[in-house]
A and B are shown apart, each in its own frame.
Chain A
């Protein structure tokens, strides 16, 4: 078991900087998910923790040791690879116990751990097969077993579910969660899938273009994104961004005036010119409610007479699109709303969920 600290990690290949200075503290036993679009440096960061890449500058500390100059094999880390990387010439059993055999763990102990792991991952039937004879999901489980059996200090996951179909993916996601709860090892998990990030993480770290855009618990990130990139990356469907103008006592969106004192999230203190301040306003589709089923209170705002452009029924939910301030805005309503295309609707929004971003920097105000 070990905590991990990254201090101002920079990684460049030739002249391109991939990771541009990451500071991160991962506590002992914490499950941290690095999430971001492709090319944001998340896999590179993980590989630097593993020791498969050398940071150009900065320190990586695992437990008490600075591990920059320690070879991967001496870091006591287990890793699950995106493409599984099973040894094709070895049976499932030999794949799983490979590390233990190398450490000369005695046979009884190997058998004990193997039977525990293979029961947990339902691999008992497959132990004598070769990787070529397994399905994708089975290979994934073998790769998990190979990592878990080590009882290493740190678990690293490099997009472990991205090669599975969606049903298997959500099943394995649950399994990974259970395994973490059982063993409680420090884990770092890389993914581009925000659902995995939200469901698995104790702490989500959103990476953007080689920097940490924001880190925090999944709910912090969801409710209080610090900029538009994070706001739109986390959450599905992604947050609506609408242009608006901020005045001293209200926020103007396409003629709707949202009272300023109720917008509890606005910390903007500098004086605002009389002509107002152009801003971007973020409202998640989930926070719109059909007025027909929710009562108005003093912290809600009523967007009246919105014209519905499109309806996408999703089963329990239905997503509707309407036009606001020259942009298309999405709202997620539940199945009770009886609406039709071209019709009008009144939508309520909790004012404390309306986020305001700087027009230029796209940072939260």
Chain B
């Protein structure tokens, strides 16, 4: 096939790509645009803000002084109603006057980083061990283990959420902050381990065993052979698995909402975002700015890791 393309063919192809790319990028552009718009600009369908407004970001990152909050007129009217008992009035006033549930972005970000990086690190270490043993070692029940690991992945989180929480309650872990955090940690690891093992296992199988044998003949123990030969050759896949685990942990909402509900100071970003959406602070530019800031680490992480993801690392090692 010569594959010579006509001009119309090329234009059509370019248009199709453009359509696809814009379809996937538009939501992000919308988030970015709205996060930068002034309140009066929200109704404007244009993606380009009339003036750039960075207040939302400044506020989230704690770069501005906390503002004195005014009670909205409609609420003031309710408060002025003489039939309402005084304690109800105080409660309502307090809800609208209080300023402390403004989004402490830095803290949530730190929580998210701790949970997702920590879980991803452990998950990666366990994945390496598990994947190596199912791909290289021969032992009884190997095939069953290999398959049942993936089975865990097929069961949706929603199904397991209640039983898992009950188990955590029964052994007393859910009653303390550290116990809950530990449970969540474990859940993230268990959730990401199957896919991590599956991906790494397949990758390890692609690395010729002769390379490890060569390392052993060169004086390495099996462990050393893994560390000095197998792992350096698996860097692209290690990076991929780490990012995969990291992203799962970073975006996870369901289990965090159950286990961390009572511990607001340990809320992760998705949890905090959800709270922000339903709170009185749900202002468009702020929501969008928070979303943008939640997205950013993943993008940065991915760009950083893509350096390691170049393929073809095992080329030239063996012949035939």
Contact = CB atoms under 8 A, between A and B. Distances in A.
A133 to B, nearest CB: 7
Interface stretch (B189-197, B256-264, B310-318): B310-318
A82 B316 contact: no
B319 A139 contact: yes
A132 interface: yes
B221 interface: yes
A34 to B, nearest CB: 18
Contacts of A87: 211, 214-215, 229, 317
A85 interface: yes
Nearest to B214: A85
A102 B216 CA distance: 11
Nearest to B235: A89
B211 A85 contact: yes
A112 B221 CA distance: 26
Contact of A81 (B214, B224, B316): B214
Interface string A49-68: 01110000000000000000
A235 interface: no
Interface string B201-215: 000000010110111
Contact of B316 (A51, A78, A131): A131
Interface in B117-170: none
Interface string B225-252: 0000100110000000000000000000
B319 A89 contact: no
Contacts of B27: none
Given A71-B221, A73-B221, A83-B210, A88 B317 contact: yes
B219 A73 contact: yes
Interface centre among B217, B229, B318 (most CB of A within 10 A): B217
B216 A131 contact: no
A98 interface: yes
Given A73-B221, A146-B218, A81 B313 contact: no
A159 to B, nearest CB: 10
Nearest to A131: B316
A21 interface: no
B219 A103 contact: yes
A145 to B, nearest CB: 12
Interface in B282-320: 312-320
A168 interface: no
Contacts of B318: 81, 83-86
B240 to A, nearest CB: 17
Contacts of B315: 88, 131-132
Interface string B246-284: 000000000000000000000000000000000000000
A88 B208 CA distance: 11
Contacts of A163: 319-320
Interface in A2-43: none
A136 interface: yes
A134 B217 contact: no
Given A52-B213, A82-B320, A89 B218 contact: no
Nearest to B212: A85
Contact of B317 (A50, A84, A99): A84
Given A79-B213, A98-B218, 19 more contacts: A51-B216, A72-B216, A73-B218, A73-B220, A73-B221, A77-B217, A78-B217, A79-B214, A82-B320, A84-B318, A86-B317, A86-B318, A87-B215, A132-B316, A134-B316, A136-B319, A139-B316, A146-B218, A163-B320
| Nearest 9 A/B pairs, CB to CB | A132-B316, A131-B316, A88-B317, A83-B318, A99-B218, A85-B214, A85-B210, A132-B315, A79-B217
